[in-house]
Amino acid sequence: TSPQVAIIGAGIAGLSCAAALQDAHCQVTLFDKSHGPAGRMSTRQGDGWQCDHGAQYFTARDPGFRAEVARWEQAGVAAQWRPEVRRFDADGTVSRCSATERFVGTPRMTAPATWLASTLELHADSAISALRREKSGWRLHAQDGEPLERHFDVVVLAVPAPQAARLLRDVAPRHAALAAGATMEGCWAMMLQYPAPLALGFDAAFVNRGALRWVARDSAKPGRVGSESWLLHASAEWSEAHIELDGASIAALLLPAFAQLGGPAPERWSAHRWRYAKAAQARDDVCIWDGGQAMGLCGDWLNGGTVEAAWLSGRALAQRICGA
């Protein structure tokens, strides 16, 4: 019979692992604590309005990932984004950035994940609080501490490093210590709504001064609908230093920083705190497979902190598990 695999986390790493395992005839079940898949490839949606507030765009340099992105483009869930990008430097200079190849999900960043999940068994709103190794296999415990009925032959953790460390503490202390040692930095995001398009002369900017690191006109991405929306990301250092503030205090500090780039006061705004936005440093292992315990780890934190890295990590783990 085909192995039963539980994957905790339906971000792009978990989905990539799941899809490859399913192609190799494993029985895969995904669990995610959120309402839906995608993880940090996320989009906030409101009344006639939307904004990607996690990953902003992705690269596709690896041939395997390029082929995957081509499938996404064919399915209409991703497209190239060709923004006019500026760079604001600390010495006051403003320059034009060269045209790098950038992709986004369409009509929103969550679309590739939703598309991948459509052919997989995903249990949403299902936070896993503990793992236990029993005689007949892995037993997962739900948020309320209750064990799930089924056992699994293999368990995969496709969650950010701090969350993996917590789940592994009792069952795999060595891997738990490794995950605990991977630093992930926070990021404050602000989503701004305007009644009409802003004429700033750029669609996105890398900012190397003050609190902000990146701003982008979400409405300039392909396939977007709804009113004019802009996204601001603060730098990792600034975000870490202000991580416990509330949204209003963050807005009072970041909106003036956007004004310095020419951005007017928005009609509406919201703020989002990412506690674990990006892996601070890349590691050498693309994924971790412990055959003795039938347990694997994948995710961006193992492979360089990007969407492409996360997808590659998930696929590499599937290959390790069953030659997928």
54 binds ligand FAD (CB under 6 A): yes
29 binds ligand FAD (CB under 6 A): no
- Under 8 Å between Cβ of 16 and 314: yes
315 binds ligand FAD (CB under 6 A): no
Which CB, 58 or 269, lies closer to ligand FAD?
58
Radius of gyration of the chain measured on its C-alpha atoms: 20
Give min distance, CB of 306 to ligand FAD, in A.
Answer: 3
Which CB, 126 or 193, lies closer to ligand FAD?
126
Compute how many residues bind ligand FAD; rule: CB under 6 A: 38
191 binds ligand FAD (CB under 6 A): no
Give min distance, CB of 214 to ligand FAD, in A.
Answer: 8
Q: How far are the Cα atoms of 17, 40, 147, 163, 229 from residue 53, in angstroms, in the given order?
A: 24, 8, 34, 21, 11
- Under 8 Å between Cβ of 34 and 9: no
- Cα 32 to Cα 110: distance, rounded to the nearest angstrom: 14
- Cα 43 to Cα 92: distance, rounded to the nearest angstrom: 32
Helices 12-23 and 307-322, interaxial angle, to 10°?
A: 30
The β-bridge relationship of strands 154-157 and 295-297 is: parallel
Residue 29, classed as helix, strand or coil, is strand
- Interface with ligand FAD (CB under 6 A), residue from 28, 32, 172, 254: 32
Hey, which residues between 208 and 267 contact ligand FAD (CB under 6 A)?
233
- Interface with ligand FAD (CB under 6 A), residue from 19, 21, 50, 58: 58
- Cα 53 to Cα 42: distance, rounded to the nearest angstrom: 6
- Which of 52-60, 66-74, 131-139, 195-203 is the region at the interface with ligand FAD (rule: CB under 6 A)? 52-60
- Angle (CA) 222-227-233 rounded to 5° is 70
Which CB, 213 or 266, lies closer to ligand FAD?
213
Which CB, 187 or 192, lies closer to ligand FAD?
187
Which CB, 91 or 223, lies closer to ligand FAD?
223
Give min distance, CB of 195 to ligand FAD, in A.
Answer: 26
Say how many C-beta atoms besides its own lie within 10 A of residue 144's C-beta.
7
10 binds ligand FAD (CB under 6 A): yes
Mask: binding to ligand FAD, 265-294, rule CB under 6 A, as x and -?
---------x--xx----------------
- Interface with ligand FAD (CB under 6 A), residue from 189, 216, 261, 288: 189
Helices 173-180 and 161-168, interaxial angle, to 10°?
A: 160
- Under 8 Å between Cβ of 286 and 312: yes
- Under 8 Å between Cβ of 182 and 278: no
Binding site for ligand FAD (CB under 6 A): 8-14, 31-34, 39-41, 54-58, 127-128, 158-160, 163, 187, 189, 233, 274, 277-278, 299-300, 305-308, 310
